[in-house]
């Protein structure tokens, strides 16, 4: 039986107007955002470049929302300490960027007193990341290939959410389940039904002028 779960919304500032970043953040904060999703891209792990440590540092000064930093970068172990110092509440690394170093990098994040998240791509199986779930505070299922906002939701990824939900519940793990990519008022229902706790939404929040109703439509 699916138990009632309070869904949190994490607007992704990748879709915000960068020239108005402070106002955009204040706006989604007052519109009911639960976390702020910060997509860090290095142009190597993904074919796009976004922003980095200073963005987190500056945002930390203007909001109390938990900062959910999604690192789409190679060798994340080089940077996690600085993201932690900059004020990240969650640091999520990619399995594909760490492979055999994954456990080590997760421990490093935890040692900073920051929540450790593990993301994996649509073509990476749950079996490959399963062993790390007990050491994670968050698992991020990518429902698009990382790199860009505004892509179409890949429905097959919902099965992964269900599998991870089952593992978390069966083992009574203290781990949140997040989904990222292509979330809108329709796909948000599917994600919630598949056991997700946190829904990342870029275009479905920032492309609407009324952010409160956009966020409510997702909840």
Q: Footprint of Zn ion on residues 145-184 (CB under 5 A)?
A: 180
Q: Footprint of ligand DX5 on residues 113-172 (CB under 6 A)?
A: 144, 146-151
- Strand, coil or helix: 185: coil
User: Closer CB to ligand DX5, residue 69 or residue 80?
Assistant: 69
Query: Which region among 35-43, 59-67, 156-164, 203-211 touches Zn ion (by CB under 5 A)?
Result: 35-43
Is 42 an active-site residue?
no
Is 137 an active-site residue?
no
- Write phi, then psi, for 181 (nearest 5 degrees): 120, 120
How far, in Å, CA of 213 to CA of 173, rounded?
33
Residue 20 burial by Cβ neighbours in a 10 Å radius (0-12, 13-18, 19+): exposed
User: Closer CB to ligand DX5, residue 28 or residue 183?
Assistant: 183
Q: Pick from Zn ion, ligand DX5, none: which does 182 bind, CB < 5 to 8 A by kind?
A: ligand DX5
How far, in Å, CA of 50 to CA of 82, rounded?
17
Whether residue 129 contacts residue 164, with contact meaning beta carbons closer than 8 Å, is answered with no
Which residues of this protein are in contact with ligand DX5, per CB under 6 A?
A: 12, 14-15, 37, 39, 70, 144, 146-151, 180-183, 200-204
């Amino acid at each position: 039986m699916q138990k009632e779960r309070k869904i949190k919304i994490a607007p992704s500032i990748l879709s915000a107007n960068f020239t108005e970043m402070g106002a955009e953040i204040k706006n989604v904060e007052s519109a009911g955002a639960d976390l702020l999703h910060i997509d860090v891209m290095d142009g190597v792990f993904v074919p796009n470049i976004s922003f980095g440590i200073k963005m987190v540092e500056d945002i930390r000064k203007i909001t109390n929302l938990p900062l959910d930093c999604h690192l789409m970068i190679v060798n994340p172990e080089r940077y996690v300490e600085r993201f932690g110092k900059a004020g990240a509440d969650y640091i999520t690394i990619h399995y594909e960027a760490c492979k055999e170093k994954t456990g080590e990098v997760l421990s490093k994040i935890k040692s900073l007193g920051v929540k450790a998240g593990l993301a994996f791509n649509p073509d990476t199986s749950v079996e490959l990341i399963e062993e790390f779930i007990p050491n994670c505070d968050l698992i991020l299922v990518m429902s698009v290939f990382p790199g860009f906002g505004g892509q179409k939701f890949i429905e097959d990824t919902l099965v992964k959410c269900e599998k991870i939900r089952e593992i978390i519940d069966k083992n009574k793990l203290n781990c949140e389940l997040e989904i990222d990519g292509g979330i809108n008022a329709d796909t948000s229902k599917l994600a919630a039904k598949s056991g997700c706790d946190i829904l990342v939404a870029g275009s479905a929040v920032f492309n609407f002028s009324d952010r409160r109703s956009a966020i409510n439509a997702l909840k």
